[in-house]
Structure 1
């Protein structure tokens, strides 16, 4: 599950639209996870959470973000640097605290 979640998250940088990324990859990654025997609850949540978090990763991922970027208050290099730092932070939280919490909720068993 971690490798699929990270791959889904990082492929966001290949798309200029969060909607296009979700349409292109969500079903594919969920099918791949099913074929590999991944926990469906955890993988579905990771795809949903990372899909939402990916909106702040680049200066072109959503229409709202583009409106914040357009006035020029933040350079694209700074946006990508902060986006990369946030990516590392979110990945760390979801794969440490998140997996522990989901285990307490009973999501670690295959359903």
Structure 2
């Protein structure tokens, strides 16, 4: 008895968000079902093999490409659903240690949420508060992504090496 159905129906922006979110996740799922992700993963792997990179620079290239591709996604869930497996498979195929690369991909999946004012569900709300300008957000988001990735790659890499993950 806390809410009536009429109360729920009056929140049109919430329904709009749910509808768009469902559509984005559905599109990401169908990219996988239609074979685009497998094709993309193979193309990534072939491109890296042509460059002749060892697993370390190849995995860093994949990691940064995965993270900064978020500039073209308006949903973290859709991005991860659509691209994580392709980049992970390509990373393993070029020789990256599976657990280490999975941890790096998970870190990138979290860090990319601060890149833009539309990067994740809470970003538009925070940006809409008027605390920062669009330019400041993008500059700070990029700077923090670089700093955070360096911390994860260097300190995390050392720690994960000690733990035996690579």
TM over 0.5, shorter chain: yes
Query: Please, which of 66, 77, 81 is the counterpart of residue 8 of structure 1?
Result: 66
Mapped pair 1:65 → 2:123? yes
Deviation at 1:91, TM superposition (A): 1.8
Cα distance in 1 for residues equivalent to 2:90 and 2:121: 30
Q: Which has the higher contact order (CA 8 A, sep 6+)?
A: 1
The total of aligned residue pairs comes to 108
1:1-111 counterparts in 2 under 5 A?
1-108=59-166
For structure 2, the 5+ residue unaligned runs are 1-58
- Aligned 8 A contact 2:114 2:145 in 1: no
SS of equivalent residue, structure 1 residue 63:
coil
For structure 1, the 5+ residue unaligned runs are none
TM-score, reference length from structure 1: 0.90
Deviations 1:84-111 (A, max 9, x none): 1101101211221111111111111xxx
RMSD over equivalenced CA pairs, Å? 1.1
Over alpha carbons, which structure has the higher Rg?
Answer: 2
Runs of 4+ in structure 1 displaced over 3 angstroms? none
